[in-house]
Amino acid sequence: EVQLVESGGGLVKPGGSLRLSCEVSGFTFSSYSMNWVRQAPGKGLEWVAYIISSSSYIYYADSVKGRFTISRDNAKNSLYLQMNSLRVEDTGVYYCSKGSTGTWGQGTLVTVSS
Amino acid sequence: DIQMTQSPSSLSASVGDRVTITCQASQDIDNFLNWYQKKPGKAPEVLIYDASTLETGVPSRFSGSGSGTDFTFTISSLQPEDIATYYCQQYDSFPRTFGQGTKVEIK
């Protein structure tokens, strides 16, 4: 069974940092691209970042470029999102997802507030 | 960036009704389109990928069609468990973009 489990969310002050993790099982992680997607409270879905299987291609939404860094460790079946210079508008549930059409995790809540 | 215009933003229908949601891309995306179901507190689930391919295990009352810029998502007979918000998403190019969502309610 394909499983993706996010962790690392929490409450942080504006300007602070958080590192999200997504641990996967049930598929060959090293063969798939991965994404981070978020949903602000009461809002729609917003794609955040993408990383190809080999880490050689990475893309970001303009709203997070220069502040967030996506990475992966294929040996640990894990995906990461380093979030720096956090803003109130970064508040939301962050999901990792497999490939372009695959399963999503249950999400981890990030709250940026003073 | 490719804009995805989804309509309606909400709808109310009776159990057993046929429900249709449309999604228009601002440029040709071939068939690189997903339809997701999102329930509160749960992860989004892909129902349709490649515009018209039903994900394994998804009931056959869900269907998708279209190619290029115009896409349609249909629930042939609305069930109480289908109450959710539905999103289209293009994966033709970056940034990946979603429609604004359609909230489906039971009348």
Q: pLDDT digits over B39-80, tens only?
A: 999 999 999 999 999 999 999 999 999 999 999 999 999 999
Return the CA Rg of chain B: 13
Q: Residues of A with CB below 8 A from B36's CB?
A: 45
Question: CA B46, CA B33: separation in Å to the nearest integer?
Answer: 10
Q: Is the pLDDT of residue B23 over 90?
A: yes
* pLDDT at B88 (0 to 100): 98
Asked if A102 lies within 8 A of B46 by C-beta distance, the reply is yes
Quickly tell me which residue has 């389109």 as its tokens: B33
State what percent of residues in chain A have pLDDT above 90.
97
Segment A27-46 shows an average pLDDT of: 97
pLDDT of residue A103: 92
Using an 8 Å Cβ cutoff, are B29 and B69 in contact?
A: yes
* Confidence band of A101 (pLDDT split at 50, 70, 90): confident
Residues 13-52 of B with CB under 8 A from A: 32, 34, 36, 38, 42-46, 49-50
What is the chain A residue with the closest CA to B94? Answer: A59
A70 pLDDT above the threshold of 90 = yes
- Which of A100, A106, A108 is the best substitution to test chain B (most B C-beta atoms within 10 A)? A100
Which pLDDT tens digit goes with each residue over B79-100?
999 999 999 999 999 999 999 9
What's the pLDDT score for residue A102? 83
Question: What percent of the residues of chain A are helix, what percent strand, and what percent coil, each to the nearest 5?
Answer: 10, 50, 40
Residue A91 has pLDDT above 90, yes or no: yes
Cβ–Cβ below 8 Å for A44 and B98: yes
Chain B residue closest in CA terms to A37: B96
Beta bridge partners of A22: A6, A79
In a 3-state reduction of DSSP, which class is residue A90? helix
Chain B residues lying within 8 Å of A103, measured CB to CB: 46
Average pLDDT value for residue range B16-44: 97
User: pLDDT class for B21, splitting at 50, 70, 90?
Assistant: very high
What CA–CA distance (Å, rounded) separates A7 from B59?
Answer: 31
What's chain A's average pLDDT?
97
